Structure 1
C-alpha cells in the first residue's frame, strides 16, 4: 500500500511539472509573438503631418508614405532640378543629390553635372510647369508631366513637354530618391 501511494504521488508531481513546463512554453511563445507584433506596430505606425505653407496633411511610416507626401516630394525634387538659373543650379543640384540613394547617386550626379554645364555655358534660366501628376504609393512612384520653359536673358525660348518618373524608397521613415528618370513618350 505504501509503495503504490508513493508511486501515485510521484506521478502527480510529474504531471504538475509537465503542466508547468507546458504553461511556461506557451507563455514564452506568446511573449515572443506579442513582442514581434508590438515592434511591427511601433515601426510601421503612420504619423500624420501638416507642414508649414502646404495645405494637405500626409502620413508616413518607416516603410512608406501616402500619395500626398509622395506628390510633395516629387514636386520639390522636380523644382530643385528644373527651376534653375546659372547662379542657382549648382546649389540646387547639390541639395537634390543629398536625397538620392547611395547606389543611384553616381549616375544622377553625372546627368546633373551635364545639365549644369549646359545651363551655365548658355546662360539659360528654366522653369517647369506641371500638367499632370500620377502617384503609386505602393511602389513609391511619382509620374509627372509638364512643360519646361527656357529663357535666355529676357528672351523666351521654345517650351517643351517633359515627362519624369521619380521612385522613392523608405528606410526607417527616411525617404531616398532611387530613380529620377526622364521618360521619352512615343509620338502618335
Structure 2
C-alpha cells in the first residue's frame, strides 16, 4: 500500500476522533480544525517514519498537544463575535453555567498545560503515565497540574453556585 493511501485512510478513519480531541483542548471548532490540520501536515511529512507498532495516532496526538501548548496567546483567540451583547446579571451567569456547555467555559479558565491534563485524563481517559509521556513531563507534574486544575474548577463552581466544595465530584469519578 502506498504512503498516500495509508495517510488518506488514517485521516478518513481517525479525523473525527482527532477533531474531538482538538475541540476539547481549544474549546473552539475553528481552532480545533486548525490544530488537526497543522498536526496532520507535520505527520504527513514524516509518515514513513511514524508508522510502526503503535500506529500513527499517538504521534499525531502528541503533535497536536505540542502545537496547542506552544501556540502564543493572541488577542484574536480571546475575542468572540456575538450577535447581541449579553446582559450582565448574576442570574444569567448562574443559568449559563447550569447549561450543557458550562464545562467549556470552565475549561477555558485553565492554562494550556492543566487544560491538556484535564482533557487527557477525564475525556480521553488516559492514565497519568501516558499523559506524562505525551506531554514530555514527569507523572508527578501531571498530578500537580490535575490537582491545581480541579482546585480551580471547584473554586469557580463554588463561587457561582455557592456549593460546598466536597459536594462537587471530580470528573470521571477520580478525586
Same fold by TM-score greater than 0.5: no
Richer in helix (by share): 2
- Tell me which interval the TM-score lies in, with the shorter structure as reference length: under 0.3
Tell me the TM-score normalized by structure 1: 0.24
User: Which structure has the greater CA radius of gyration?
Assistant: 1
